[in-house]
Homo-oligomer: A and B are copies of this chain.
Amino acid sequence: MRAILNEIGRLTPIGTVRKVDGSVTHMKVYPEFCEGLKDISLYSHLIVLYWAHRRDNEEERQTLLVYPRRHNRKAETGVFSCRSPSRPNPICLCVVELLKAEGCTLTVKGLDAEPGSPILDIKPYLARAMVSS
């Protein structure tokens, strides 16, 4: 039987990418979610999940095979075997360095998102916990 996302199974943007300055990005978490940032400064690196809103259209979401640019492959590869933002659920993932946390604003390094990208989630990056096997 199929897994069904119930009616509550919607995405709520918790913030947005405000400004990109080279490799430095300013993210704004919306005030009503700010409390969730408590203790964030304990971590040097974070995992940021954001929505590739420019790829959120039927064509890109139906794309299952791509020629990944970064991999320099000449053959098509599956979207689940690469980081292409064209995929059934355009959720992008970046591990970033936390440079500053001030109020609801996080300044991070290495976020590959453009201004206006909706932020879906932030998690601490724990290198030792990434591969548990």
Contacts and interface: CB of A to CB of B under 8 A. Distances in A.
A123 B80 contact: yes
A40 B121 contact: no
Interface in A109-132: 109-110, 116-125, 127, 129-132
Q: Which size bracket describes the interface of A in this complex?
A: 35 or more
B116 A82 contact: no
A12 B88 contact: yes
A36 B97 contact: no
Contacts of A9: 11, 51, 53, 56
Interface of A is mostly: mixed
Contacts of A29: 80
A111 B117 CA distance: 28
In the complex this chain forms, how many copies of it are found?
Answer: 2
A29 B64 CA distance: 13
A57 B87 contact: no
Interface in A79-118: 79-83, 87-89, 91, 93-97, 109-110, 116-118
Given A10-B11, A49-B93, A109-B133, 9 more contacts: A3-B119, A8-B57, A9-B53, A33-B88, A38-B77, A39-B81, A83-B123, A83-B129, A87-B121
Sorted nearest first, the 5 A-B pairs with minimum C-beta distance are A38-B78, A3-B118, A3-B16, A97-B133, A80-B122
